[in-house]
Structure 1
Amino acid sequence: MGSAVDALSKKHALFARAYVASETFNGTQAAIEAGFSKRSATSQASKLLARDDVQAAISELLSERNARLDLQADDVVQQLWNIATADYSKMSKIKRGSCRHCHGKDFAYQWRTEEEFTRAHLEWQIRRNGMNEGDDFKLQLQLVDLDEPSPSGGYGYRFTRDPHPDCPYCDGIGDVHAHFEATDDLPANIRATMTGVKQSQHGIEIKTKDPMRALELVGKHLGMFSNVEITPSDDLADLLAGVQGAALGAVTDE
């Protein structure tokens, strides 16, 4: 029996090879690489993927690649399934704790330590001394706080304490902080979904792999979407029609 790839036309074989070479099984891009026009690439990809001879060639190419890599289909599907079903809430949590007034004396602002208060008061003095008599009122507000920092609320603030139900500043709700788990403490399957972490001016940004794309790829590997080319523009009706085997026109070499 001859090769399923060799049995295809040159253009269709190029499509099959480009499709398998794509990390995300991008049929539209594979059609473009095979020589189809960008305008018709998506529709041509759908038609090609509906052909039995093209599917046979793709399966043959995948089997050859897996043999070279000593890779089992179950391994791939399991990794994709882990990404698709990962509990991303394990990466970060919203924690609630006391506000700065909850446990201060008479609900005044409470400092963590005397050192923290001293530093804040020194900064207030520096800003205040930086004012000139000729500065307008708006500039003065930028240079000095309306209230001088006071130690009257005492020391010992801890966010981890429960909010005080009678606190007039937070109404007993407290403050909320975003908490990110240390990556070393995350389960292996959760770490596998991460592609990077960076500190930005808005805080910590965690980049992850796309779970919906991973779920789509699982479906493709299991044959659920073998005749469907899924693109961001597909709506639910089009997708369902494709899954149910809607009639597709003949492939052209446009």
Structure 2
Amino acid sequence: MALTAKQKLFATEYLVDLNATQAAIRAGYSAKTAGSVGQENLTKPEIKIAIKKAMDKRSERTEITADMVLQHWREVATADPNEIIQHRRVCCRHCFGRDHEYQWVGTEEYDRALNVAKAMAKKGKPPALPSDAGGYGFDPIIRPHPKCPQCHGEGHGQLHVADTRDLSPGARALYAGAKYTANGLEIKLNDQEQAWDRIARHLGMYKDELKLKGELTVKKLEDLM
């Protein structure tokens, strides 16, 4: 049976957002009955065939296949967020100083602190010159010393964001952008739980009849593929 003009338009509009009600409205059906008409249209074999053909043609045009989409979701779902952003426990100044005394990065840092202390002393304040007994070579990104008497091996927390130019393909799929806000740098990641959900639905792991967008059930969507 040949499709009517409205049915053809419905099949075309359905591909826009997979929303049967909105597709029916855009195809010219009454908004009052669009919900029921849209659901009914999805059960008609000739319309299902038209939608399937349109999906196949679109896939050919864009050269994007279902396997490619599934692979993208897999990369998002299995990517390691630690490759992008990490919360580290790093050492304190006493962790690796000699006898766990305060450790300086280098002589320049120590000399600056010494000059500040001398300047304060000239203003009539008691001199409190810093000591370099802890030595030099402080590395702010290594793990805490487990027996440090100052931080007790806890160090302190530090956020680290990776250079996103060097991310693996999976981490790059997970990464959704970054921006500076009033509270600092904000890192956006794609939703891994949503990716797993899409994979499960694609593989037919859900046996329920949960509706997608309030219109199309998982079973009906699978029937269209």
Normalising by structure 1, we get a TM-score of: 0.59
Which structure carries more helix by proportion? Answer: 2
Secondary structure of 1:179's aligned partner: strand
How is 1:34-183 mapped onto 2 (pairs within 5 angstroms)? 47=39, 51-53=43-45, 55-120=48-113, 150-152=130-132, 153-183=134-164
- Are the counterparts in 2 of residues 117 and 149 from structure 1 also a CA contact under 8 Å? no
How many Å separate the matches in 1 of 2:141 and 2:135? 17
CA displacement at 1:124 relative to structure 2: 7.0
2:12 alignment counterpart = 17
Note if contact 1:194-1:207 (Cα within 8 Å) is conserved in structure 2. Answer: yes
Residues 1:89 and 1:102: Cα distance change in structure 2 (over 3 Å): closer
- Report how far residue 170 of structure 1 moved: 0.9
Corresponding residue number in structure 1 for 2:223: none
In structure 1, list runs of 5 or more residues that go unmatched: 132-146, 235-241, 246-254
Quote how far apart the aligned CAs of 1:71 are.
3.2
Work out whether residues 176 and 189 of structure 2, in 8 Å CA contact, stay in contact via their aligned partners in 1.
yes
- Partner of 1:77, secondary structure, is helix
The 5 Å alignment of 1:181-192 reads 181-192=162-173
TM-score scaled by length of structure 2: 0.65
CA spacing shift, 1:112–1:49, aligned 2, 3 Å: farther
Equivalenced residue count is 212
Structure 2: any 5+ residue segments left out of the alignment?
221-225
Q: Is the 8 A contact 2:105 2:137 kept in 1?
A: yes
In structure 2, how many angstroms separate the alpha carbons of the residues matched to 1:18 and 1:123? 72
| Whole-angstrom CA distance in 1 between matches of 2:129 and 2:57 | 72
Instruction: Decide whether aligned partners of structure 1 residues 37 and 175 sit closer, same or farther in structure 2, where only a CA change above 3 A counts.
Output: farther
Contact preservation (8 Å) 1:46, 1:227: no
CA distance in 2, matches of 1:158, 1:28: 61
Q: Is the contact made by 2:144 and 2:154 (CA closer than 8 Å) also made in structure 1? A: yes
The 8 Å contact of residues 86 and 189 in structure 1, kept in 2 or not, is answered as yes
